[in-house]
Amino acid sequence: MSVGLHRYVSGRLRWYTPIAIEPSQTQSSPIRAAVGRNYIPPEMLRLGMSGDSHTAESVTLARLPSGVELTTTVHTYRGAGDGPTLYVQAAQHGREINGTETLRRFHERLSLRSLSGTIIAVPVANPLTFDRVSYTTPEELDSVNPNMNRVWPGEADGSLHQRMAARLWEYVDRADAIVDLHTGSPDMLPHVVFREGDERSRELAAAFGTDLLLSEEAHDDASDEWHRRGFDGKLRVAAANEGIPSITPELAYNKQIVEDAVEIGVAGLLDVCRSLDMLPGDVSERDQTIARNHLGQVSAADSGLFRPRPSLEVGQFVPEGTELGTLYEPTTYEPLQAATTDRDGILYALTKEATVTGGDQLASIAMVREE
Ligand SMILES: [Zn+2]
């Protein structure tokens, strides 16, 4: 049913000749995106005859100490009809590349002719962590906060991450809904996090369609740990503070492109668009579990090797006191910890990386709120 972008625009490309203009004049309009410092190759700029268009704009996020500019590509899809603006980004944490692959596949499947409104997509929100295949940025480049997802909405004259976030926030601020794509370890059940009590964000999460939805309390309602870990600087939280419905899908896997994870992501984005009336069709009814994000987790009491109980699988309900595995001292075989759950809930993450340091998370349990 969906007409691929490439097929739709074939034969209808309009070519722009680059002309010299001041960098300060380069903005995000389709024509300006093609000229000057932010020159975009013609094959990246596609305009339909009915006013719909796709542009790919090179945007400077910050300047590195060497003077090298840190840039990324911002895609703007304008539909044939009017409608809301959806902002989607991936790879704030650069090893979480299934979000990037999700956006590439979404680009291929999106029909501009069917689209009402505008989608802004940033496949690599943080090129620094992307190149390092890492979660955080080296302290040399941002000693204030090595985790980009703790600094939103950013500051134009702040630390490197704050500047990068502030530049992208210019797009976020104009949006009517936000999807911040993340991924976790292989041993994690795909889920979507939204802010507890935020009904429009809950609807967005439900539309994305994973079996498990996690509500997270914020600000005065949140735990000490939430505040200590700077969770109020997450993009999702900062956007929700501005009244913009926002979700964080957590797809499984890091570093590897995994088909199941990507397909969940693409289907989720298309259904989010349908739920916002940006694409035709209805979001199908689903049997989803809403649970509370349990920030306490089950963590390692000491350093050693952790052997998870082989019979455990993510997604299963575990009563309080369930044994999750054994931590032991690898040279003497001395048992150090019988890791158990301290409450009933759904096991949604269980570490398979056996070498752990005291304090590492071994498992994550979500408390069921409603079926
Ligand atoms: Zn992440």
| R_g of the chain, CA atoms, integer Å | 22
Q: Answer whether 211's CB lies under 8 Å from 251's CB.
A: no
The pTM score is 0.85
User: 144: pLDDT confidence band, cut at 50, 70 and 90?
Assistant: confident
Give residue-wise pLDDT tens across range 92-143. Answer: 999 999 999 999 999 999 999 999 999 999 999 999 999 999 999 988 899 8
Q: Answer whether 340's CB lies under 8 Å from 322's CB.
A: yes
E strand residue ranges, the chain: 46-47, 53-63, 69-78, 81-90, 116-122, 177-183, 191-195, 212-216, 246-251, 289-292, 298-299, 304-308, 317-318, 323-328, 335-340, 345-350, 355-356, 361-370
Q: What domains, with CATH codes, occur in the chain?
A: 2-291 (3.40.630.10), 296-368 (2.40.50.100)
Find the 40 Cα to ligand 1 centroid distance in Å.
29
Find the 165 Cα to ligand 1 centroid distance in Å.
15
Find the 93 Cα to ligand 1 centroid distance in Å.
5
**pLDDT mean across residues, the chain:** 87
Q: How many of the other CB atoms lie within 10 Å of CB of 163?
A: 20
Give residue-wise pLDDT tens across range 292-305. Answer: 876 658 999 999 99
Find the 184 Cα to ligand 1 centroid distance in Å.
7
Longest Cα–Cα distance in the chain: 73
Give residue-wise pLDDT tens across range 45-101. Answer: 666 656 789 999 999 999 999 999 999 999 999 999 999 999 999 999 999 999 999
User: 41: pLDDT confidence band, cut at 50, 70 and 90?
Assistant: low
